């Protein structure tokens, strides 16, 4: 059954940076943009590369292995070119909340 899991102190997540944390039994990539914190499974659906090693451009997280881009808000793939060889490659996303300086993820 899903529940809120503590992930990290808010002060330890810097603006526009990607931080990998383990919550529950999942590796999660956390990203802070303004007042929002986004949480994605830290694994590209293509070949399992760790997204924490990718690059962030606005709201698009680029996989370090094959440069596939995923919208951190929805997990949707934003690369629709010929190199995308999967049907609807999407990264699992998770709801987040900040309470008294603690970031939690709904796992």
Mapped onto helix, strand or coil, the DSSP state of residue 10 is helix
Helices (H), 1-107: none
Q: What is the DSSP string of 79-93?
A: --STT--SSS----E
Closest CA to 48 of 32, 60, 59, 64: 64
Angstrom CA distances, 10 to 6, 21, 66, 88, stand at 11, 13, 30, 32
Q: What is the pTM of this model?
A: 0.91
- In the chain, where the domains are located: 4-106
Query: Tell me, what's the pLDDT at 89?
Result: 84
Sequence-distant (6+) residues with CB within 8 A of 45 are: 86, 89, 90, 91
CA dist 34 and 82 (Å) reads 33
CA dist 27 and 74 (Å) reads 17
CATH fold group of domain 4-106: Rieske Iron-sulfur Protein (2.102.10)
Taking only the tens of pLDDT, the chain with its 107 residues reads: 889 999 999 999 999 999 999 998 999 999 999 999 999 999 999 889 999 999 999 999 999 998 999 999 999 999 755 555 667 789 999 999 999 999 999 99
């Amino acid at each position: 059954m899903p529940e809120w899991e503590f992930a990290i102190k808010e002060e330890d997540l810097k603006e526009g940076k990607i931080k990998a944390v383990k919550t529950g039994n999942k590796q999660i990539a956390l990203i802070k943009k303004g007042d929002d914190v986004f949480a994605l499974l830290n694994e590209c659906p293509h070949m399992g590369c760790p997204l924490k090693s990718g690059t962030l451009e606005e709201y698009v997280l680029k996989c370090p292995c094959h440069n596939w881009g995923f919208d951190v808000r929805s997990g949707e793939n934003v690369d629709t070119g010929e190199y995308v060889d999967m049907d609807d490659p999407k990264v699992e996303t998770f709801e987040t909340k900040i309470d008294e300086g603690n970031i939690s993820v709904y796992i």
